[in-house]
Amino acid sequence: MEDWSFIESYGIVAAALIVVAVLLVLRQKLRTSPVAEIPGEDTEPMYIPDIIETVKIGNAQTIGKRDEQDDYFSSSTTRIGTMAAIADGISGLSYGRMASTLAVTMFSREYLKVDDPADIPEYFHKAALISNRAIMEQLGGATGGTTLVVGIVSGGLLHWGAVGDSMLILFRDGEFMPINSKHTLESVLEARYLAGEISKEEAKENPNRNQLINYLGYGGFQSMEVGEPVPLQANDTIILCSDGVYDALTEVEMEQILMQGLHPQDAAEEMISLIERKKYKHQDNATVIILQVI
């Protein structure tokens, strides 16, 4: 009796290879077709990104000299794009850790519901209001809150939203481009100085200049800052970080790390390692996420 197991096994392998080949062809067609329509259906066309990015992700953090880690972060990738978020629970206020964790969790959950890049601005505003309400409910009248910065790489663009003083920075061709602004009294003082209302010394020497004027978990919160999408180029590097990073590292130090051509994970770890080596007496929690567009 002949042994048919050899033929059967290789027949299965051949069939599997054919299926893989068909899937690869379909995938290539999707990459080159920005819109797919269903024949005979009078409906809106299904969105398929006309630019499909490859994004490398790295992250790292340190507790610094604080008693607990109040920073929280997350990243996720869907067919819409890659999202990254960092929240920094406000030091000195109760429930900072709860607030940062809840904010990032809410933003991550709501991002999974986004099925069209055109809805990203609405997503930012909706997730911010949901997060603020949830944090306020958890606080129950107690003090607490968090900053939050979120970036989404989608269709060759960087979509972003921010509240508080965590930062989003674009590093391109050896240059840093800050994307968002700090929601602190410092920005108000600067505006008053430019308007001629106060002197330069009064603006710089105000002891409350670093006080937040907008954050999640704040009773007077109305909306987060949502900017125009930023066109991206190949090899752009996007940095999201809490104030524990940019207060401890200079641009030159960050540039020296980023110019080494390291994988984002290695670059993020090197930044945090450098912060820890400095051993600042009052080092804050520090968290960084690095996205590199290929």
In this predicted model, what pLDDT tens digit does every residue of 80-95 receive, in sequence order?
Answer: 999 999 999 997 667 8
Tokens of 181: 């602004």
Strand order of the β-sheet with 175-178 is 55-62, 286-293, 237-241, 167-172, 175-178
pTM as predicted: 0.80
**Residue 120 — pLDDT band, cuts 50, 70, 90?**
very high
Per mean pLDDT, which range of 60-69, 127-136, 210-219 is the poorest? 210-219
CA-closest candidate to residue 268, choices 227, 237, 294:
237
**pLDDT reported for residue 186:** 87
Per-residue pLDDT of 213-228, as tens digits, reads 899 999 889 899 999 9
Contact between 239 and 179 (Cβ < 8 Å): no
DSSP assignment of 179-236: -S---BHHHHHHHHHHTTSS-HHHHHH-TTTT-BS--BT-TT----EEPPPEE--TT-
Beta carbons within 10 angstroms of residue 114's beta carbon: 21
Reduced to 3 states, what is the DSSP secondary structure of residue 57? strand
Residue 249 corresponds to which tokens in the numbers above? 């590292």
Could you give the CA distance from residue 194 to residue 200 in angstroms, rounded to a whole number? 9
Q: What percentage of the chain exceeds 90 in pLDDT?
A: 67
Average pLDDT, stretch 30-58? Answer: 49
* Model pLDDT, residue 240: 98
Cβ within 8 Å of residue 30, ≥6 positions away? 36, 48
- Residue partners of 166: CB distance under 8 A and separation at least 6: 86, 87, 88, 147, 148, 149, 240, 241, 242, 243
Give residue 42's pLDDT: 41
Higher pLDDT, residue 92 or 73: 73
Whether the Cβ atoms of residue 216 and residue 145 lie closer than 8 Å to each other: yes
Q: Work out the pLDDT band at 18, boundaries 50, 70, 90.
A: very low
pLDDT recorded at residue 6: 31
Q: Which residue has the tokens 């259906």?
A: 41
pLDDT confidence bin for 210, thresholds 50/70/90: confident
Mean pLDDT of 246-264: 97
Token pair, residue 74, equals 């997350």
What residues have CB less than 8 Å from 191, skipping those under 6 apart? Answer: none
Cβ-based burial of 242 (10 A; exposed 0-12, middle 13-18, buried ≥19): buried
